[in-house]
C-alpha cells in the first residue's frame, strides 16, 4: 500500500509566495529573488511530505500564478497579443503579462480571462485556442522541477492536467471549430514531455482529468479513450495515475474502467458510492490500482479514521493491499497550510481546533491511515488513533455545535415562511405609494471606497490603538460624508457605504453563533490573492442585530431612503468552510433564519428598502446537471425564507454579479426579490437578453458601468446602455446602478462616475416624458 498526494499548497505557510510576487511586481525584489522564493517553497513542501511519509510526492504542483497558465506556456499556447512581448521579455515577465496584462514601454496588452476552477473558489487562467492552433514544448517547467527534486534526493511524481481537460478548460477564440478537435495536434507535445521525463527515469506520473466528473459528449469521451490508449502504447512502463475529483465519474465510468492506466484516483469524499460501483461492476481490470481519496482536500475537518479504515478495508479485501493507494480526495491547494500556526485560543478554541486538519495534518492522516490499514501500527495501541476517535466523538456531542432552539426552529418552518404576504403585483403598488421614487431610480450596490485610511482604522481598532468610541466616530464621519455626497449627487436610494465591514461574509460570520475564524487559514483564490474563509462549525443563530445600528444611523441623517445591506444565506454558506456533519441545505436554512430576523429588525427600525446580496448563488451549482434542481430548490428557498418576514411595502432587493444567468433565470425569478441588480456592462447588456426573453416579472437594475476599471464612463455611454435595456425591459421596471460594490475604487473616479450616472438617468426620464407628451 502506498500513500499518494495530489498537490500541496504553494502559497507557503505564511503566504511567502504572495509577498514575493507582489514585491516583484512592485519592483522591490529581482526576478532571481522571486525565483529563489519559489525554489525554497518547493523544497520545503517536498521535504515535509517526505518526512511525513508520503510515498508519491507531487512535483509541478508549484506555480507562481496558476497551474493552467503554466501548462499553456508548457504547450506553447501563447495568444498572438503576447508574441511581441515573448521576444523581448524574460519568461517570468511574459508569464505575468499573460496573467495580469502589461503596460510598459509603449506596450499595452490585456490579461487573459480568468474563471473558476470547477466548483471551487480557485480561479484559473483560461487557455485561448485558434482554429489553426499550433502546440510546441515551450517551457520545460515540469521536467526542471522533477530534476530539481531529484537533486534533493526526492523522486517525485510529476502532475499535469490531462490533454482532454486542458482543451476543455479553454475557449475557442474564433468560429469554425471545437477545441476538442485539436487533440491530435496537442498529444505529440504530451509525448515529448513524457519522453523527457522517461529519460530522467520517472516512475509515476499523475494526469488530472477533472472533466470526467462532468457530463461529457461522446466526442469528448472518445478523446479520453484515444489519449490514454496512445500514451500507453508509447510509454507502457510509466505508471500513470488518472485523477478525477469533485464528483463521481457518472456515465463516464465504463469509459474510464476500460482505460489502460496504472491507477485510478477516486474522490471518495464527494462520491462515496464510487468504490462500491467500481468493485461491483466487475469491470476493473486486474492490473489497475485504486487511489482512495478518503481525506477531504476541500474542507478543514479532521478525518474520521474509523470510517476511512472501513472504506480502505473494503477495497483491500477485494483487490489486495498492493493495488491500493491512500490519498486526499483532491489537491490540497484548496486547504489552508498548517493548523499548528493557529495559536489564537480565544477565537479558535482548543475544543474546536481538535476537530480540524489543514494540509500538513491531512498528509499526516493519509500516512497514518496507511499504517493502520496495513497493520504496521496497531490501532488499539495508537495514541493518534485514540485522539482521532476522541475528537470525532467530542464533535458529535459538543454543546458548542448543537443548539436545540435552532434545530427546532428549522424543523417547524412551514410553507408560508418562504412567501411574502402577497404576490409582486400587489406589493409593487404598495411600494410605489410608500417609496415615491422617480422613473429610472438611481442607487448603488452598497459599498463605497474602502480607502487605506478606513482599513487602517479597523487595524488600529483590532490592535487596541483605537477604542470603540473612537472607531465608531471615524466610521460615522465617513458614513455621513458618503450620505451627503449621495444627496448632493441626486441619487435616489442611498446606502451607508459599508465602511464598518472588512468583508461581506466575515462581517456577518463574526456576529453569528456557530462561526469561528482562523488567523492564518489562507487559501489561494487567484494569483497572489488568498482568502480566509470563516469556519461554520455549529448550529447558526443570531444573538443580536448585526447591521441595524449603522443602517439606522445612516437613515437618521437623511430624508431620502437608505437601503439596508445584508449578505444572503447562500453566499455566506458558499464562501465559508461548511460543516460536513449535516447537509449543506440544513446549514443554509439556519443562516437564512438568522438573516430573516435581521431583515425584520431593519424593517422595525424604519428601513424600507433592504438588499440581500447573493453573488454566489450561481457558483454553488453542482457539477453534474442532474443535481442542479435539488440545489436550486433549497438555495432559492433559503433566500425566500430570509426575505419573506417583511410587509408588502418593504422593498427587497438582491444583487448578483459575474455569473452566467441564462440557464438559471427561472430560479432567479423564483427568488421573488422586488428588485434585482445585476452586473451587465461588460457584456454591453447582452445578459439582459435572458431577462427579456424570459419576461422577468420584477424590477431590474442592469449595471451601467464596470466597477473593475478606474475608467470614468460618460453619461452618453450609460444612456446608450440604458436605451438598449429599455428596448427589452419596460421602462417602469428599470433601475440605474453600477455593476457591483465600489469598495475597490478610489473616491475621485467614483464621484465622477456617479455624477455621470445620475445625469444618464435624468436624460432617460426626459426622453420618456417627451415620448409621453407627443
Ligand atoms: N453589497 C456588496 C458591496 O457593494 C456587494 C458585493 C458583491 O457583489 N460581491 O460591496
Ligand atoms: Zn457584485
Domain-embedded: residue 26 = yes
Residue pLDDT, tens place only, 337-362: 999 999 999 989 999 999 999 999 99
Provide the β-strand partners of residue 243: 208, 265
> Residue 575: nearest ligand to its CA?
1
- Is residue 68 lining ligand 1, measured as CB closer than 6 Å? no
pLDDT score of 24: 97
Pick from 728, 723, 733: which is nearest to 701 by CA? Answer: 733
CA of 440 to the centre of ligand 2 (A): 20
Based on the fold, state whether residues 342 and 211 are members of the same structural domain: yes
**Is 741 close to ligand 1, i.e. is its CB under 6 Å away?**
yes
| Same domain assignment for residues 392 and 496 | no
> Are residues 369 and 518 both part of a single domain?
no
Separation between Cα atoms, residue 732 and residue 734, nearest integer Å: 6
- Do 640 and 758 lie in one domain? The reply is yes
Q: What is the pLDDT of residues 15-61, one digit of tens each?
A: 999 999 999 999 999 999 999 999 999 999 999 999 999 999 999 99
Cβ-based neighbour number of residue 460 at 10 Å:
15
Note whether 374 and 501 are same-domain residues: no
- pLDDT, position 706: 85
List the residue whose alpha carbon is closest to atom 4 of ligand 1.
741
Please answer whether residues 350 and 387 qualify as being in contact, where contact means their C-beta atoms are separated by less than 8 angstroms.
no
Mutate-to-test residue for ligand 1 from 572, 613, 675, 703, highest number of ligand atoms within 8 A of CB: 613
Task: Identify the helix (H) or strand (E) that includes residue 324.
Answer: strand 324-328
Q: Is the CB of 445 under 6 A from ligand 1?
A: yes
In a domain, 416, yes or no: no
Question: For ligand 1, what atom is nearest to the CA of residue 447?
Answer: 4
Residue 301: pLDDT over 80: yes
Angle formed at CA 496 by CA 490 and CA 497, multiple of 5 degrees: 95
352 SS3 class:
helix
Ligand 2: distance of its center to the CA of 722 in Å? 19
Average pLDDT over residues 538-559: 98
Instruction: Looking at the structure, tell me whether residues 444 and 338 fall in a common domain.
Output: no
Among protein residues, the one with the nearest Cα to ligand 1's atom 1 is 446
Closest atom of ligand 1 to 740 CA is 8
C-alpha cell at 339: 493548523
The CATH number assigned to the domain holding 735 equals 3.20.20.210
Q: How far is the CA of 68 from the centre of ligand 1 (A)?
A: 28
CA 702 from centroid of its chain's CA atoms: 23
Ligand-binding site membership of 446 (annotated): yes
Mean pLDDT of 716-728: 94
Confidence of residue 670 (pLDDT cuts 50, 70, 90): very high
Res 774 pLDDT > 70 = no
Tally of residues, the chain? 774
Please state the separation of Cα 358 from the chain's center in Å.
18
Ligand-binding annotation for 740, yes or no, is: yes
Task: Point out the catalytic residue in the list 262, 402, 496, 708.
Answer: 708
The answer to whether residues 103 and 208 belong to one domain is yes
Q: Which three cell numbers stand for residue 180?
A: 476538442
- Identify the residue whose C-alpha is closest to ligand 1 atom 10: 741
pLDDT over threshold 70, residue 152: yes
pLDDT in tens, 740-772: 999 989 999 999 999 999 999 999 999 999 987
Which residue in the block uniquely carries the three cell numbers 462549525? 537
- pLDDT for 682 equals 67
Q: Look at residue 418 and tell me if it is in a domain.
A: no
Q: Residue 280: how many CB atoms within 10 A of its CB?
A: 11
pTM: 0.94
Q: What is the pLDDT of residue 424?
A: 98
Reported in sequence order, the residue ranges of 622-681 that DSSP labels E, i.e. its strands, are: 651-656, 675-678
Residues 518 and 587 in one domain: yes
Q: In the prediction, which pLDDT does 620 show?
A: 92
C-alpha–C-alpha distance, residues 94 and 106, integer Å: 15
Whether 746 is catalytic is: no
Q: 323 and 445 in one domain?
A: no
Q: Is 116 annotated as a binding residue?
A: yes
The answer to whether the CB of 447 is under 6 A from ligand 1 is: yes
Which grid cell is 366? Answer: 493519509
Give the number of the ligand closest to the Cα of residue 659.
2
* Residues 446, 340 share a domain: no
Instruction: Give CA–CA dist 45/55, Å, rounded.
Output: 13
How far are the Cα atoms of 95, 298, 596, 631, 648 from residue 585, in angstroms, in the given order? Answer: 41, 18, 16, 8, 27
Domain annotation covers residue 431: no
Number of domains in the chain: 2
Q: Which of 365, 397, 429 is the last residue of a domain?
A: 397
Pick the range with the lowest mean pLDDT from 32-36, 108-112, 386-390, 724-728: 108-112
Rounded mean pLDDT, 493-519: 96
Q: Is 506 annotated as a binding residue?
A: no
469 in a structural domain: no
Taking the centre of ligand 1 as the mean of its atom positions, its distance from the CA of residue 160, in whole angstroms, is: 36
Among 212, 111, 221, 130, which Cα is nearest to 176's?
130
Ligand 1 within 6 A of CB of 613: yes
Is 320 marked as a binding-site residue? no
The ligand that comes nearest to the alpha carbon of residue 706 is: 2
Residue 107, pLDDT above cutoff 80: no
In this structure, is residue 672 part of a structural domain?
yes
Which ligand places an atom closest to the C-alpha of 707? 2
Locate the ligand 1 atom nearest the alpha carbon of residue 565 and give its number.
1
pLDDT in tens, 596-646: 999 999 999 999 999 999 999 998 999 999 999 999 999 999 999 999 999
CA of 452 to the centre of ligand 2 (A): 21
Is residue 410 a part of any domain in this protein? no
Least confident of 93-107, 153-167, 291-305, 466-480: 93-107
To the nearest whole number, what is the mean pLDDT of the chain? 96
For 402-435, the pLDDT digits (tens) are 999 999 999 999 999 999 999 999 999 999 999 9
Instruction: Answer yes or no: do 119 and 10 share one domain.
Output: yes
Residue 88's pLDDT is 85
Residue 522 lies in a domain: yes
Name the percent of the chain lying above pLDDT 90.
91
Tens of pLDDT, residue by residue over 446-500, are: 999 999 999 999 999 999 999 999 999 999 999 999 999 999 999 999 999 999 9
What's the per-residue H, E or C state across 411-454? HCCCHHHHCCCCCHHHHHHHHHHHHCCCCCCEECCCECCCCHHH
Judge if the beta carbon of residue 514 lies within 6 A of ligand 1.
no
Ligand nearest to the CA of 496: 1
Which of 235-244, 589-598, 615-624, 647-656 has the lowest average pLDDT? 615-624
Does the beta carbon of 615 lie inside 6 Å of ligand 1? yes
Atom of ligand 1 nearest to the CA of 445: 4
Q: To 5 degrees, how large is the angle CA 345–CA 351–CA 352?
A: 80
Contact predicate 528/359, CB 8 Å: no
* CA–centroid distance, residue 23 to ligand 2 (Å): 29
Instruction: Give the strand order in the sheet containing 609-613.
Output: 493-494, 561-567, 609-613, 651-656, 675-678, 699-702
Average pLDDT over residues 157-181: 97
Atom 5 of ligand 1, residue of closest alpha carbon: 741
**Residue labelled with grid coordinates 470603540:** 468
pLDDT for res 493: 98
Residue 745 Cα to ligand 2 midpoint, Å, equals 13
Encode 667-699: b = buried (16+ Cβ within 10 Å), e = exposed.
bbbebbbbbbbbbbbeeebebbebbbeeebebb
Structural domain of 226: 2-397
Rounded to whole angstroms, how far apart are CA atoms 774 and 766? 12
Going from the Cα of 706 to the center of ligand 2, the distance in angstroms, rounded, reads 10
Q: What is the 3-state secondary structure (H, E, C) of 89-108?
A: CCHHHHHHHHHHCEEECCEE
Q: How far apart are CA 186 and CA 259, in angstroms?
A: 19
pLDDT of residue 687: 78
- Pair (446, 331) in one structural domain: no
CA distance 742 to 740: 7
Does 504 sit in the ligand 1 pocket, CB within 6 Å?
A: yes
Residue 157: per-residue pLDDT = 98
**Cα 618 versus chain centre, distance:** 11
Cβ atoms 45, 145 nearer than 8 A: no
Cα distances (Å, whole numbers) of residue 100 to 2, 66, 109, 110, 463:
40, 11, 9, 7, 34
Amino acid at each position: 500500500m502506498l500513500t499518494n498526494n495530489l498537490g500541496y499548497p504553494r502559497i507557503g505557510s505564511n503566504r511567502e509566495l504572495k509577498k514575493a510576487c507582489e514585491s516583484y511586481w512592485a519592483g522591490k525584489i529581482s526576478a532571481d529573488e522571486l525565483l529563489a522564493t519559489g525554489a525554497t517553497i518547493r523544497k520545503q513542501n517536498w521535504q515535509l511530505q517526505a518526512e511525513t511519509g508520503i510515498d508519491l510526492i507531487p512535483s509541478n504542483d508549484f506555480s507562481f500564478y496558476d497551474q493552467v497558465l503554466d501548462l499553456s506556456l508548457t504547450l506553447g499556447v501563447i495568444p498572438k497579443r503576447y508574441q511581441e512581448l515573448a521576444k523581448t521579455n524574460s519568461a517570468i515577465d511574459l508569464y505575468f503579462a499573460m496573467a495580469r496584462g502589461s503596460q510598459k514601454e509603449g506596450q499595452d496588452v490585456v490579461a487573459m480571462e480568468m474563471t473558476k476552477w470547477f466548483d471551487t473558489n480557485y480561479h484559473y487562467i483560461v487557455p485561448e485556442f485558434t482554429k489553426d492552433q499550433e502546440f510546441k514544448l515551450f517551457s520545460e517547467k515540469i521536467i526542471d522541477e522533477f530534476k530539481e527534486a531529484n537533486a534533493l534526493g526526492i523522486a517525485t511524481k510529476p502532475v499535469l492536467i490531462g490533454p482532454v481537460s486542458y482543451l476543455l478548460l479553454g475557449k475557442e477564440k474564433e468560429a469554425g471549430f471545437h477545441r476538442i478537435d485539436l487533440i491530435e495536434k496537442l498529444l505529440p507535445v504530451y509525448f515529448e514531455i513524457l519522453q523527457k521525463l522517461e529519460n530522467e527515469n520517472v516512475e509515476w506520473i499523475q494526469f488530472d482529468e477533472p472533466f470526467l466528473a462532468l457530463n461529457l459528449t461522446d466526442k469528448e469521451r472518445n478523446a479520453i479513450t484515444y489519449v490514454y490508449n496512445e500514451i500507453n502504447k508509447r510509454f507502457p512502463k510509466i505508471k500513470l495515475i488518472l485523477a478525477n475529483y469533485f464528483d463521481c465519474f457518472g456515465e463516464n465510468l465504463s469509459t474510464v474502467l476500460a482505460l489502460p492506466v496504472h491507477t485510478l484516483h477516486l474522490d471518495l469524499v464527494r462520491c462515496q458510492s464510487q468504490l462500491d460501483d467500481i468493485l461491483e461492476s466487475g469491470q476493473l481490470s486486474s492490473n489497475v490500482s485504486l487511489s482512495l481519496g478518503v481525506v477531504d482536500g476541500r474542507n478543514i475537518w479532521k478525518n474520521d479514521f474509523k470510517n476511512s479504515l472501513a472504506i480502505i478495508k473494503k477495497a483491500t479485501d477485494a483487490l489486495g493491499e498492493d493495488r491500493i493507494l491512500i490519498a486526499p480526495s483532491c489537491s490540497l491547494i484548496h486547504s489552508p497550510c498548517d493548523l499548528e500556526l493557529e495559536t489564537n485560543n480565544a477565537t479558535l478554541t482548543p475544543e474546536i481546533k481538535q476537530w480540524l486538519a489543514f494540509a500538513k495534518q491531512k498528509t499526516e492522516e493519509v500516512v497514518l491511515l496507511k499504517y493502520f490499514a496495513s497493520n504496521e501500527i496497531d490501532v488499539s495501541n495508537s495514541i493518534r488513533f485514540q485522539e482521532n476517535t476522541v475528537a470525532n466523538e467530542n464533535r458529535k456531542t459538543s454543546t458548542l455545535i448543537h443548539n436545540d432552539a435552532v434545530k427546532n426552529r428549522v424543523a417547524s418552518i412551514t410553507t408560508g415562511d418562504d412567501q411574502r404576504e402577497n404576490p409582486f403585483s400587489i406589493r409593487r403598488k404598495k411600494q410605489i405609494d410608500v417609496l415615491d421614487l422617480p422613473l429610472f431610480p438611481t442607487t448603488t450596490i452598497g459599498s463605497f471606497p474602502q480607502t487605506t485610511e478606513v482599513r487602517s482604522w479597523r487595524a488600529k481598532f483590532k490592535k487596541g490603538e483605537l477604542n470603540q468610541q473612537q472607531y465608531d466616530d471615524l466610521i460615522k464621519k465617513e458614513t455621513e460624508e458618503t450620505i451627503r455626497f449621495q444627496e448632493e449627487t441626486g441619487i435616489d436610494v442611498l446606502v451607508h457605504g459599508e465602511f464598518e465591514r472588512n468583508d461581506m461574509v466575515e462581517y456577518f460570520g463574526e456576529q453569528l453563533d456557530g462561526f469561528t475564524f482562523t488567523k492564518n487559514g489562507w487559501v489561494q483564490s487567484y494569483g497572489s490573492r488568498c482568502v480566509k474563509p470563516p469556519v461554520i462549525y455549529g448550529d447558526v443563530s443570531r444573538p443580536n442585530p448585526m447591521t441595524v445600528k449603522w443602517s439606522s444611523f445612516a437613515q437618521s441623517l437623511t430624508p431620502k431612503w437608505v437601503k439596508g445591506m445584508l449578505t444572503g444565506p447562500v453566499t455566506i454558506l458558499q464562501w465559508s468552510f461548511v460543516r460536513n456533519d449535516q447537509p449543506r441545505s440544513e446549514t443554509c436554512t439556519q443562516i437564512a433564519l438568522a438573516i430573516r430576523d435581521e431583515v425584520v429588525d431593519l424593517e422595525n427600525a424604519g428601513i424600507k428598502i433592504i438588499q440581500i446580496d447573493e453573488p454566489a448563488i450561481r457558483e454553488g451549482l453542482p457539477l453534474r446537471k442532474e443535481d442542479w434542481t435539488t440545489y436550486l430548490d433549497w438555495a432559492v428557498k433559503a433566500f425566500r425564507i430570509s426575505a419573506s418576514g417583511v410587509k408588502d411595502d418593504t422593498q427587497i432587493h438582491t444583487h448578483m454579479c459575474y455569473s452566467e444567468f441564462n440557464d438559471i433565470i427561472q430560479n432567479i425569478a423564483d427568488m421573488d426579490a422586488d428588485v434585482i441588480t445585476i452586473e451587465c456592462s461588460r457584456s454591453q447588456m447582452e445578459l439582459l437578453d435572458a431577462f427579456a426573453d424570459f419576461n422577468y416579472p420584477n424590477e431590474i437594475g442592469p449595471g451601467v458601468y464596470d466597477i473593475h476599471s478606474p475608467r470614468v464612463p460618460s453619461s452618453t455611454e450609460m444612456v446608450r446602455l440604458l436605451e438598449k435595456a429599455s428596448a427589452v425591459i419596460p421602462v417602469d421596471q428599470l433601475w440605474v446602478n453600477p455593476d457591483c460594490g465600489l469598495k475597490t475604487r478610489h473616491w475621485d473616479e467614483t464621484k465622477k462616475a456617479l455624477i455621470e450616472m445620475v445625469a444618464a438617468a435624468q436624460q432617460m426620464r426626459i426622453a420618456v416624458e417627451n415620448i409621453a407628451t407627443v
